[in-house]
A = this chain, B = another copy of it.
Amino acid sequence: MLNAEIIAIGSEMLTPFRVDTNSLWLTERLNSMGIDVKLKTIVGDDEARLEETIRDAMKRSEIVISTGGLGPTEDDITRKIFARVLKRRLILDDDILEKLKARFAKRGIVMSENNSRQALVLERAEVLPNPNGTAPGILIEEGKCIIAIMPGPPREMKPMFDASVAPVLKQRVGDVLILRRKLNIFGLGESAVDELAAPVYTKYRNPSTTILFKDGQIELHLTAQVKTETEGTRLLDELSGQLEEALGDYVYSRHDETLEQVAGELLRWRGYSLATAESCTGGLLAGRVTEVAGSSEYFLEGVVTYSNEAKMRMLGVPTAMLEEHGAVSEPVACAMATGVRKLAGATFGIGVTGIAGPGGGSEEKPVGLVYIALADEDNVTARKFIFPGDRQFIRILSVNAALDLLRRRIK
């Protein structure tokens, strides 16, 4: 197995404020090619330490990947130090410079002088295009070592790795295949999942299984290390089939789709449409539904009725109901769902009302109390939840629960 080492460059990751997440993503990609990550270093704009880190990495590892430090400012020392260690000159690439200028011009901005620094490349290196930003990457083969130098912003680094670095590494690695599968689970806690899943997955050493807890959801990661795709697929099918049987319909995806993608796919497939009425989630539910490209096919409209007045006027929630039960109540959730469904002329209406906190809770209606209602033409039902956590977490959990109710209803 080839060994890789990741160097994250940037003083901001040596502050208490920022964590290096690029390396997690890179590790996943490298592992899936059968490459082991043996060490990660995070280093700031300290020339001596970066130089030593690069030298050590090249001695120890067959693959060295750096992210960050390619920006236009004085702090961005990556190019300079790699040039020093590799004893190669930095050359201004006219082609890149032109593209940089054009990029700024297109947005109606005159390029500032320090940006031209980003057009410097190492001699005898391959320039990696960056369609999502200004700094191109650099790929170097030095002796047995492959070095990929990439920008720090994830939205620039990730596409660059996939398009320009991964193919080179794959060629070097040859024939080990790592296949992964991920089961997404909603509605059970971590230990409940483990109780159901452990009797199944402990029977297998290959594929291996890892459980992860994330934003109120559980992920099961299965990893198979095999010679052929057929063998890997067979193993993963076998294990994931048994896990899905053990976990039932708590499993909502085995293709790494989000809840909003799964629910959206179901809506689209059946030709159904959706409208949302939100109070405590304040637009986040509509925001998540419309995260999916093409969601305009089934998402008609949403309203955020924060005030009682808006609930009455836009959704026809009766004044008497608000007075008798309060805005956070099952009848009001139901009235919101039916109201928005009718307003939009949609197949389904969802109503969410609750207390996200930190204020506004009481003995009878605590922070975390949320009612979620789902209405169709004939019917409306609501569920009551009491979610843990802070304002932000309660809002995320509410959105997840609403999407899950919709998914289960259509399925």
Please list the residues of chain A having a beta carbon within 8 angstroms of any beta carbon in chain B. Answer: 11-21, 24-25, 27-28, 31, 37-44, 46, 48-49, 52-53, 56, 60, 71-75, 106-107, 109, 112, 114-115, 132, 153, 155, 189-192, 194-195, 198, 210-213, 221, 276, 278, 281-287, 289-291, 293-296, 299-307, 309-310, 314, 343-344, 357-359, 386, 388-393
Q: Are B42 and A40 in contact (CB under 8 A)?
A: yes
Q: Are A49 and B42 in contact (CB under 8 A)?
A: no
- What is the count of identical protomers in the complex? 2
Report A335 CB to chain B, min CB distance, Å: 16
Report A173 CB to chain B, min CB distance, Å: 17
Chain B residues near A155: list those with CB within 8 A: 389-390, 393
Chain B residues near A358: list those with CB within 8 A: 293
Q: Are A25 and B21 in contact (CB under 8 A)?
A: no
Q: Are A303 and B306 in contact (CB under 8 A)?
A: no
Known: A49-B60, A282-B290, A302-B283. A14 touches B38 (CB 8 A): yes
Chain B residues near A16: list those with CB within 8 A: 24-25, 27-28, 31
Q: From DSSP, what is the main secondary structure of chain A's interface residues? A: mixed
Q: Are A38 and B49 in contact (CB under 8 A)?
A: yes
Known: A39-B53, A114-B191, A194-B114. A12 touches B281 (CB 8 A): no
Instruction: Write 27 A-B pairs (CB below 8 A) sorted by A numbering.
Output: A11-B210, A14-B40, A16-B24, A17-B221, A19-B24, A38-B49, A39-B41, A40-B42, A71-B190, A72-B191, A73-B190, A74-B198, A75-B210, A109-B189, A114-B191, A114-B194, A281-B287, A282-B299, A286-B287, A296-B307, A299-B304, A300-B307, A301-B303, A302-B306, A303-B303, A310-B344, A314-B343
Partner of A302, one of B213, B303, B388: B303
Known: A155-B393, A285-B283. A301 touches B307 (CB 8 A): yes
Q: How far is the CA of A282 from the CA of B12 in the complex (A)?
A: 32
Supplied contacts A15-B221, A301-B303, 17 more A-B pairs, CB within 8 Å? A15-B27, A15-B31, A18-B212, A39-B53, A75-B210, A112-B192, A114-B191, A132-B388, A155-B393, A282-B286, A282-B299, A283-B302, A290-B304, A290-B306, A293-B359, A296-B306, A301-B305
